[in-house]
Every structure is written in structure tokens, then in C-alpha cells.
Amino acid sequence: MGTPEATAGRPASGTPTRTSGGAVLLDGKAVAARVRAEVAARAAAFAQARGRRPGLAVVQVGNDAASSVYVRNKRRASHEAGIESFAHDLPASTSEAHLLELVGTLNGDPRVDGILVQLPLPRGVDANRVMDAVDPAKDVDGFHPVNTGLLAQKRPRLRPCTPFGVIRLAQEYGITLTGQRATVVGASNIVGRPMALELLLARATVTVCHTGTRDLRAEVERADVVVAAVGQPDFIPGTWIKPGAAVFDVGINRSADGRLVGDVAFESAAQRAGWITPVPGGLGPMTIAMLLSNAVDAACQRAGI
Ligand code: GUN
């Protein structure tokens, strides 16, 4: 089994951009724009059929600076796609009981098709309890155990946005996943674990690395597909990347000199990779696009369309 087929490395439209190292740049911004245009068309068709737009509630508790940026972007993107955005901004002092009450209200609101509670939540609020309280049919994050379980059982319904974005990006560039050795670095509930399930669904041979992994370098070196979701700047040296591998970098970190960088040392990795995502402009925009797609999916599923 070799690396993903080099002939297939082309986006659905246009000529791919290559890094100076020769790797195809996986342009998440361009693909996300395409997904968002599809979502806007589906949202308009839904509105025509149902007499209302799909609705997405985005809840933020407290004012974590990074969360505020993400939430603002999600709300703006919803609006641009023709999805009605319901904003709920609660103070950091909000109790778990109050948040659970809000989730219950949103579960019962027929105008709300999707509910997203931005993580992390303030100390003292149990995120698992909150995630578990979201109606699985409105769980546009795909974090509810029902949606995780359905993905694990090869019958995905609402799929976690970042892993789903990786799969969509791979599809758009014709990157073969079936039969490839895929290594996921990071085992979080938000990215690493569902990413492993998505890659398994795509019939890759999957390894998940975490703080207990004995020889991370060896696991990365033999991977045809690498997904990095660690949250540490330049955590994976480019010299570890197998020549021709597809590299999906989920990390968005601030480097010591103030730049936004991923979990993979981009310049050196791009000398070896066949495909690589930039940071920013890779999985960040894809995550938002897949969230909007999930919101319209949830609206259609709830309406029996
Ligand atoms: N915090 C960081 N990423 C995410 C995400 O995808 N969804 C939610 N709800 N919170 C996050």
C-alpha cells in the first residue's frame, strides 16, 4: 500500500495550487465557499417549501476570546447562507441549571433546527451534561452520544463538523482514503475520536495517537494520511511526514512570534507531503461550512424532507 494516488490531487474545479515544496495546497477556504453555496441553495429551497428559514441557535457562555471569534464567524456565516441565527450570549457566571433550562427551551422551539453550545464552558458547568441535554435531532455539532454511536455503527446522521470537513476536503481533491494507513494525532471527543470513526467509515486503516502513545514519530512516519489535532504549535516536525502523504492540520495556534500556525511544521512538511492544508485557510473554514450543512440537514430531517 503506497501513499494516496498522486494523479487524483485536483480540486473539483480549477488547477490546484502547489506549495514551493511541491505539495498540493488543500484550499479549505475555496472548498468551504463551494459547500456554503450548496447550503444556501438548500436553505432557500427549505424556506420555499416550509415558509420559514432553517434555524440555528448558537449559545456562548462567558467571553473566552477565541470562542467569541468562532461564534461571531458561525453566526455571520449562518446569516449569509440564509439560515436564521438565534444568538444566546450568557455571562460566565451562568449556572449549569440555567444553561440546561435554555437547552430545554431550544429543544422545544420549532423554529430552531440546530443547537450549538460553544465549548469550552466555564468551570463549574459540566459540558457532558449539557451536550447530553441537546436533542440529538438538533445536535449540529454531532457531539451527542446518539450521534457518536450512529457514526461508530456506520450509519452517520449528524456528523462532527471538523472530521466531516476533513472527509469532504479529501473528496474534493480526489484523495483516496480507502486502504490507506491513516494516523490521527490527538484523541479528543471533538476531533480525534470522531475523526478516527470517519476514517474508518471511509475504510482507511486507522491509528489514533495520544499522550500514552509510545513512539509517535514511528506512527506518523508510516502514515499515508495524517490528521493532526493536538493544539500545540508545530508539534509534528515536517521530517516525520512520509513522502506523498496527505496532511490535514486541525490545529490553530498562536506561535511565539504571534503568527497563527498549525500543529504541523508547515514549511518542512510541505517539502515532503503530497497534499497539505494551510493554517489559517484549511480546516477552520471547512468546520464552519460543515456546521451550516448540518444545520440544513437537521432542518430537512426534522421536516421529513
Ligand atoms: N469549540 C471548539 N471547537 C468547537 C466546535 O466544533 N463546536 C463547539 N460547540 N465548540 C467548539
pLDDT tens digit string along 46-63? 999 999 999 999 999 999
So what's the pLDDT on residue 21?
A: 87
- Report whether 290 contacts 78 (CB < 8 A): no
Which pLDDT does position 12 carry in this prediction? 60
Taking the model in full, what pTM does it have?
Answer: 0.95
Helical ranges in the chain per DSSP H: 28-50, 65-80, 96-108, 127-133, 145-152, 161-172, 192-201, 216-221, 266-270, 283-303
Whether residue 271 lies in the annotated active site: no
Please confirm whether the linkage preceding 120 is cis (ω < 30° from 0): yes
The minimum-distance atom of ligand 1 relative to the CA of 120 is 1
pLDDT computed for residue 14 by the predictor: 74
DSSP-assigned beta bridge partners for residue 139:
115
For the CA of 287, the nearest atom of ligand 1: 6
CA dihedral 258, 262, 263, 268 (to 10 degrees): -100
Mean pLDDT of the chain: 95
Pocket of ligand 1 (CB under 6 A): 116-119, 141, 161, 190, 287
Q: What is the pLDDT of residue 4?
A: 58
Q: How far is the CA of 14 from the centre of ligand 1 (A)?
A: 31
* Catalytic member of 113, 139, 141, 224: 141
Q: How many Å lie between the centroid of ligand 1 and the Cα of residue 161? A: 9
In order of start, what are the domains of the chain with their CATH numbers?
52-136 (3.40.50.10860), 173-285 (3.40.50.720)
Looking at the DSSP bridge assignments, the partners of residue 275 are: 24, 246
The pLDDT value given to residue 1: 44
Among 96, 86, 275, 99, residue whose Cα is nearest residue 175: 275
Residue 81 near residue 113, CB atoms below 8 Å:
no
Residue 116 CA: nearest ligand 1 atom is 9
C-alpha–C-alpha distance, residues 101 and 95, integer Å:
10
Burial of 254 per CB tally in 10 Å (0-12, 13-18, 19+): exposed
- The predicted structure's pLDDT at residue 11: 65
Look up residue 226 and give its DSSP letter.
Answer: E
Nearest CA to ligand 1 atom 1: 119
Residue 171 appears among annotated catalytic residues? no
Query: To test the ligand 1 pocket, which listed residue (141, 193, 253) has its Cβ within 8 A of the most ligand atoms?
Result: 141
Share of the chain above pLDDT 70, in %: 96
Catalytic, 257? Answer: no
Q: How many CB atoms lie within 10 A of CB 112?
A: 22
For the chain, which ranges sit under pLDDT 70?
1-13
